[in-house]
Each structure stands twice: as C-alpha cells, then as structure tokens.
Amino acid sequence: MRRRHDPARRQRIIDAAIRVVGTKGIAGLSHRSVAAEADVPLGSTTYHFATLDELMVAALRQVNEGFAKVLAASGVPRDTEGDLAAELARALGEWLDRDRAGVELEYELYLAALRRPALRPVAAEWIEETATRLARRIDPATARALLALTDGICLQVLLTGARYDEEYAREMFTRVMGG
C-alpha cells in the first residue's frame, strides 16, 4: 500500500543513511542503498535530499548529538564546582562505552568533511557549540584544546581497539588546563 502523506519519511531516510554508513561505510552510501534500507522508493530519497552531500549533512547533524547529550547529562558544562578534568574524562568514557559503534559512525561522518566541503560547516558547528559549552567553565582557547585532545583520545581508542583509560584522559585534560 502506497502512502501519500508520510511526514516521517524524511526522518526515516536520515535514519537509514546512518544505518548504511554504520554497516557499509561512507563508500556504501548512495540514494539507492538508503532507499532500500528505508524501504521507500528511490525518488523519495532524491526528493528529500537532491545530493548525497545533503543527506550526509542531515545525518551528521543527527549523529553529532551523541557526545553533546552525554556532556549535557553529565552536568559538565553546568557544574562550576567539580573537577572538570575528571568529569570530562568520565563523560568521554561513558560515551565510548555506551555506543562504540555509534561513536565510530559519528567520527566517520565527521572525518568525511575532509573530502566533502559541504560537511565542514556542520563539523565546525559541532566544535563551536561544544567549545562554547566548555567555555562556561574555562577560557575559550583551553576549551578548544580540550576538544582537540578529546578527538585524539577517541580516535586512538577507536583505531587501535584499545580500552579507554579514564585516568590517563583525566591526567591529560588536567595538563591541558594547566594543572
């Protein structure tokens, strides 16, 4: 049965794109593969997203919320009294432990911005928003340095398959903050 009015279709297409990238990588993403995964006609994907870059921008915006949600739930940006290095290290570990495949997907889309200029503004927005959250507790330059270190630690864990070392992360965050 064909649906004429399907307000959730656009979101289903984005969700399907995320699943396709999660299983096949960026190279496996196409309008056709997403349409099959979303169980929608091919024309629906191109109607909602004329290019793959548009679809990837929507997917990246959605997956970028992962670490931001963990940070917000942890109280890191709001709590002005606690040990920021320890709180950030704990939040990072929670994010990696909760959904490692999701973290991998988030970084895959994030790093796709290296080759796809359309994704760069979305990646930059995430960096800016997260740095702004952290700058409630520390100066903006240190907030950006902490994000760079966070990315480095995450990539090393993901690429080597190593276990996340919260104590190491806490120590490195403390050093970056001048402690």
46 and 76 share one domain: no
Domain CATH for 99 = 1.10.357.10
15 and 102 share one domain: no
- 77 inside domain: yes
28 and 96 share one domain: no
- Cα–Cα distance list, 132 to 39, 87, 104, 136, 142 (Å): 39, 17, 24, 7, 11
74 and 156 share one domain: yes
Span 124-141, average pLDDT: 90
H-assigned helices in the chain = 9-24, 31-38, 42-48, 52-63, 65-74, 84-98, 100-112, 120-134, 140-160, 166-176
34 and 79 share one domain: no
- Boundaries of domain holding 36: 9-61
45 and 33 share one domain: yes
- 166 inside domain: yes
84 and 164 share one domain: yes
Residue 4: its pLDDT value, please?
Answer: 63
Whether the full predicted model's pTM is greater than 0.85, yes or no, is: no
Residue 43, pLDDT above cutoff 70 = yes
- 3 inside domain: no
- 28 inside domain: yes
Q: Is 80 within 8 Å of 161 (Cβ atoms)?
A: no
Determine the length of the chain. 179
50 and 95 share one domain: no
Task: Identify the weakest region by mean pLDDT among 62-66, 128-132, 141-145, 153-157.
Answer: 62-66
Domain CATH for 51 = 1.10.10.60
Residue 43 has which token pair? Answer: 């024309």
Query: Domains in the chain: how many in total?
Result: 2
Residue 1: its pLDDT value, please?
Answer: 46
81 and 167 share one domain: yes
